[in-house]
Amino acid sequence: MTPERTWSIARAGHEAVIGRRGAGLCAYRADGVDVVDPLGEREVPTAYHGLVLAPWPNRIPDGRWSWAGEEQQLPINEVATGCALHGLVAWSAWTPREVGDDAVELAVAVEPQPGYPFALELAVRWSVDAGGLRCRVTAENAGEDAAPFGVAVHPYVVLPGCTVDDLHLTLPAAAWLETDERLRPLALRPVQDGDRDFRGGAPLRGRSLDTAFTDVTGTTVRVAGGDRAVEVWADPAFGWWQVYTSDYFPAGSPRHRRALAVEAMTCGPDAFNTGQDLLTLAPGDRWSAEWGIRTA
């Protein structure tokens, strides 16, 4: 029997499609209108559309880091920047734990391996109700040593009839992370430095972002366009937001600046080296937090 690749959940006018690959969000609609940019049934999400990013989000330059005095080397999977990108489970086939009409929970094990010698049990529960879409992420240390850990999910928000240039972004963060041409972290900057201040809301027309924000002063990011708005919210455990304006798609691609990635992250880029906001799970410890999307 061929295993299921996707599961559809629906309730109160909200419906989502969840994929086995990366426990990813393949589609989410409210009253029949797309809220995230949908994937085709057999489409490969080359820009990590909707996928779960763990045990680290974003980039580790050169894949090198150290832990407890031991040097670690991760495989480089973003050749253009020479980075280890977005963790170890985005392309894994996750296993369903629970499947219902309005919720699905998927799980995957991270086994000790070169570059990440730790054992984690990960689970993601997607659900919909009248309040929108919810995503609860759980991690448990199944090994014998303390394990560093971070997580994010990579949704692309869309609004009907709008491109990124038609959108207005409100983002409650007071600092942004400057990076070099390889997207390696350089320094945290105040949002006033570099025209990155979206706390009071600002248009995205003409702006190109692939930027991590932190020093958050609220838990909700608002994206507005036309007569509609979408809010991405997160528990305080998610102290970072990554915003990406879809510029790296070729100019002729239908996805070029069509959707805005708004990622709630527990830590920023290269957290395995900087240590900033990096979670550490002791053996047997369990961590859980939730984020979601709603129309506004």
pLDDT in tens, 279-293: 999 999 999 999 999
The pLDDT assigned to 36 comes to 98
**Average pLDDT, whole number, for the chain?**
96
Q: What's the mean pLDDT in 1-30? A: 93
User: Please, are residues 215 and 176 in contact by the beta-carbon 8 Å criterion?
Assistant: no
Distance CA 119, CA 122 (A): 10
Spatial CB neighbours of 220, under 8 Å, sequence gap ≥ 6: 172, 231, 232, 233, 234
User: Please, are residues 157 and 262 in contact by the beta-carbon 8 Å criterion?
Assistant: yes
Question: Phi and psi for 234 in degrees, rounded to 5?
Answer: -155, 150
Q: Structural domains in the chain?
A: 6-295 (2.70.98.10)
Our measurement of the distance from residue 124's CA atom to the centroid of its chain's CA atoms, rounded to an integer in Å, reads 13
Distance CA 141, CA 111 (A): 11
DSSP 62-81: TTEEEETTEEEEPPP-BTTT
Question: Confidence class of residue 194 from pLDDT cuts 50, 70 and 90?
Answer: confident
pTM score, whole prediction: 0.96
For the chain, give the number of residues: 296
Residue 1 has pLDDT above 70, yes or no: no
Residue 165 has pLDDT above 60, yes or no: yes
Question: Confidence class of residue 249 from pLDDT cuts 50, 70 and 90?
Answer: confident
Question: Confidence class of residue 250 from pLDDT cuts 50, 70 and 90?
Answer: confident
